[in-house]
A = this chain, B = another copy of it.
Amino acid sequence: MTLEVGVLGYRFMGKAHANAMARLPMFFPDAPDVERHVLVGRDEDALADAADRLGFENIATDWADVVDEVDVFYNLGPNHVHADPSIAALEAGTPVLCEKPLANDLESAERMADAAESAGVPTAAAFNYRYVPAIQYAKNLIESGEIGEIHHFRGQYLQDWLVDPEAPWSWRNDAEMAGSGALGDLGAHTIDLARFLVGDVARVSGHLRTFVDERPVDGGDEARPVTVDDAYSAQAELEGGVMATLEASRFATGHKNDHSIEIHGSEGSLKFSLERLNELEVLRGDDRGYETILVTDESDPYVEHWWPPGHVLGWEHTFVHENYEFLSAVESGDEHHPDFHDGLAVQRVLAAIQESDERGEWVEVN
Contacts and interface: CB of A to CB of B under 8 A. Distances in A.
A207 B152 CA distance: 13
Copies of chain A in the complex: 4
A257 B311 CA distance: 7
Contacts of A279: 289
Interface in A117-163: 148, 151-152, 154, 156, 158-161, 163
Interface of A: 12, 15-16, 18-19, 22-23, 25-27, 29, 53-55, 148, 151-152, 154, 156, 158-161, 163, 205, 207, 209, 211, 231, 233-235, 237, 241, 243, 245, 247, 249, 251-258, 264-269, 274-279, 283, 287-294, 296-297, 306-317, 359-362
A301 to B, nearest CB: 14
Given A251-B151, A283-B253, A310 B243 contact: no
Contacts of A235: 205, 207, 233-235
A38 to B, nearest CB: 17
Nearest to A147: B253
Contacts of A156: 154
Contacts of A361: 359-362
B309 A316 contact: no
B315 A307 contact: yes
A134 to B, nearest CB: 12
A16 B311 CA distance: 11
A247 B249 contact: no
B251 A152 contact: yes
A293 B283 contact: no
Contact of A26 (B55, B154, B289, B292): B55
